[in-house]
Structure 1
Amino acid sequence: MRTDSPAAGSPAGEPNAATWSDLAPWLASRGTDPEFFWIDDDPTIADGQVRRAHSDLIAVLIIETLPEVALGDLLPLLPGGVDLIPDPDLPTRAANWLLSSSIFTTDRIRPVTAAEILDSRGMGTGSVTPLLSKLVDLSVEAAGRPSTGPDDPVAALLDDLAIIARWHVVAGQRRTPLLASLPDHAPTIVHDARRRLDQLTGDDLALTGDQPEGVAAQLDTRIGELAERDRVVFAERRLTRPRIRLESLGERFGVSRERVRQYEARALDELYDWMENSTEAQFMLAAALRAIGTVRPLDELLATLPAIGETVPVTGAPLWRVLTGIGVPFQIDDGWAATPTLDAARETTRTILEEHADRYGVVRLDALDAVTGAAGTPTPSWYADWAGAAGYAVYRGHILTRTSSVEDYAAAILRIHAAPMTPEELVAEFHVERSVRSLVNQMTGDDRFQRVSRTQWGLSEWGGDGYESIRVAIARRLTESGGSAPLADLVDALAVAYDVKAASIVAYAAAPPFRTEAGIVTAAADAAAPRKSPAQTRSLYRVGDAWKLRVAVNREHLRGSGAPLPVAMATALGLAHGEVRHLDSADGEQSVSWTALQPTIGSVRRFVTTLGLDESAEMLLVFTDDGRFEVEPVRAATDPMHDALARIGAPATDDAAVALAALAVAAGLPPDTAAAAVAEAYAARGETDIAALLTGTDRP
Structure 2
Amino acid sequence: MGREVRPGYQGARMDGQVNRFPGQGRMTGTEAPVVRSEVDFFLSDLQLLIAWAIRERGAGQIGDLLDSMSGTDSRPAELDHLWRTLRTFELRSLVDLSEVDADLNRSFDDLLAVVEPRRITLFKQRKHEGRTLEQVGRNLGVTRERVRQLEKETERFFEHAVQVRTNFRWFRIRAQDLRAKLGLGAPVGHAATLDAMESALRGLHSGHRWLARILLLECAGPYQTKGDWFALNWSELTDRSDVLACMDANSLTPVSAARQVLVQRGLRPEFFDAWLLSHGRMRRIGTHLVDSGNVVDKCAAMLVVLQRPATAVELVEMVGEGHNSTGVRYRLMEDPRFVRVNKTELALKTWGMDEYEGITQEIWKYILAAGGEATVADIATSIVNRFGVKRTSVALYVQAPMFELQGRRVRIKGGPGPDKPHPEGEGVPAPGLFDVRRGQVNLFVDAEAVRGSGRPCNVELCHALGIEPGQHRRFRFAAGSVHVGWPATSPYPNLGSVRELIRHIGASLGDRVLLEFDSSTGKVEASIQPTDQ
Report the TM-score, using the length of structure 2 for normalisation: 0.50
Q: Which has the larger radius of gyration?
A: 2
Structure with the largest fraction of strand: 2
